[in-house]
Amino acid sequence: MPEDALPSISLPPVADERPPAGLSPWQAALYFFEDGACRIQLDGGCADLLRRPWRELHVSVPIRRDNGTLEVLAGFRVQHNGARGPYKGGVRFHPQADLDEVRALAALMTWKTAVLDLPFGGAKGGVQCDATTMSENELRQITRTYTQNIAHLLGVSRDIPAPDLGTNAQTMAWMMDAYGARYGYSPGIVTGKPPALGGSEGRAEATGLGVALITRDTVQAMGRGVEELRVAIQGYGNVGANAARYLDAMGATIVAVSDIHGGVHDPDGLDVAGLQAHCARTGSVAAMPGTQDCSGEALLHVECDVLIPAAINGVINRETVGGVQAPLIVEGANGPVTPYADHELTKRGVVVVPDIIANGGGVTVSYFEWTQNVQRYHWEQERVEEELERVLCSAYRDLLVRAASDGVTLRAAAFMTGIERVAEAIRLRGFL
Ligand code: NAD
């Protein structure tokens, strides 16, 4: 095999026994962990330690709504494992952000930072609310109060939040300010800030760019070119919209996109720049002139070469998996494919690139942002993009090699690698 050639992807044999359907997000994350731990024959004590989150905090977040009523929201910060470095993980504002979901997302961050070999552990935060219906004033209050209530767990060398579903660079600016009011100026306390406050160039686009790079390398390993691809993307926020933009620039055809309000489909290809402008004008991709309507669920069943779920978890499940036509799924969202659906897809020969590598571009550039903050230094966008491609694509190449040599799926290879690295850090530190 030439130096730069990617190993080809072949699907391993699949056990007859189906995983249970209807698992909660935490049960699903645990299912994939148990599979990986079993494959590397992890010893029982270490598995028990890695199975459990290290620390969980549940806080109340009272806010005064614009109509004068007082509402008390539930907020969480879960620190899953910090053996490899400070806890790292986003903060989500979403109605489904309960302890079970935040715990699952925190565990996925532990495996993701380990697979990418970044010097971080895994954490996640969330506030249970519908950010899409909140005013700027309400969102600012939620962010400040939530930050004050979890601030004792945070720290530039302890736990560093970032944006996720329903939060963005503005949210991170408020978090940095609320933390700084108590502990002093600390730009490295959050990543994904606006560049004017010490945020990294390229952080906002990083997860979508990473999804596009991983898609490109996967199809290359399958013997095809990115310019041949017809792509459908569920979720048109930070991850989905940027993935669409970069894949379009690489020559792929985006045939369908959707968001919470609806979706659009054009088998001949959507005008991505026009879509961006339409979305900026109307707040949604829905009803873009010259396209067919397509709901979020119908999008999963569109005829295409690559399906990128980039919205919420659990969307490809026992009920929806049967209609999926794409031969390749790249997980832009965290946990979009349930264990039941993952098993079905593998049995049908569908390649699934797991979240813990596919959407790792965001945390990789968060790491670059944190190092720039610690050094009080600023990188140009070009350097950020070059380093992102180097780190992400070399970690992915290692997974392709492992999947091929061990005869396992990409998800199993990713979990095996992540668990091994965290277990090694635990042993070296003398936890066990
Ligand atoms: P976002 O809030 O910017 O965008 C989410 C998009 O999904 C919006 O377009 C929203 O309308 C849409 N959406 C929500 N519910 C939907 C539904 N039921 N059906 C169809 N569309 C729906 O969020 P984001 O930052 O793009 O995150 C999306 C996913 O990617 C999440 O799972 C998140 O955990 C994951 N992720 C994000 C990052 C990051 O850097 N932002 C990094 C890694 C993983």
Q: Which of 88, 124, 193, 347 is catalytic?
A: 124
Atom 5 in ligand 1: which residue has the minimum CA distance? 237
The yes-or-no verdict on residue 302 having pLDDT over 80 is: yes
pLDDT at 14: 82
132-187 pLDDT, tens digit per residue, is 999 999 999 999 999 999 999 999 999 999 999 999 999 999 999 999 999 999 99
* Span 87-125, pLDDT tens digits: 999 999 999 999 999 999 999 999 999 999 999 999 999
pTM: 0.96
Tens of pLDDT, residue by residue over 263-280, are 999 999 999 999 999 999
Integer angstrom CA distances of residue 334 from 137, 191, 220, 353, 423: 28, 18, 24, 12, 23
| Ligand 1 nearest atom to the CA of residue 261, by list position | 11
Q: Which residues of 115-146 are buried (b: 16+ CB within 10 A; e: fewer)?
A: bbebebbbbbbbbbbebeebeeebbbbbbbbb
Tell me the pLDDT band of 229, cut-offs 50, 70 and 90.
very high
Distance 125 CA to ligand 1 centre (A): 15
| Residue pLDDT, tens place only, 338-372 | 999 999 999 999 999 999 999 999 999 999 999 99
Ligand 1 atom, smallest distance to 167 CA? 2
Residues sharing a CB contact under 8 Å with residue 26, sequence separation 6 or more, in sequence order: 100, 101, 103, 104, 107
CA–centroid distance, residue 165 to ligand 1 (Å): 5
The reported pLDDT for the residue numbered 1 is 47
pLDDT of amino acid 4: 66
CA distance 192 to 363: 9
Q: If you measure from the C-alpha of residue 355 to the centroid of ligand 1, how many angstroms do you get, rounded to a whole number? A: 13
What average pLDDT does the chain have? 96
Q: Indicate which residue's Cα is closest to atom 35 of ligand 1.
A: 333
CB 279 within 8 A of CB 236: yes
Active site residue 124: yes
**309 Cα to the center of ligand 1, angstroms:** 9
Residues with beta carbon inside 6 Å of ligand 1?
A: 163-166, 207, 234-240, 258-260, 296, 310-312, 332-334, 359, 362
Does the structure show a pLDDT above 90 at 5?
no
Among 207, 265, 388, name the best residue to mutate to test ligand 1's pocket (greatest count of ligand atoms within 8 A of Cβ).
207
Residue 295 has pLDDT above 90, yes or no: no
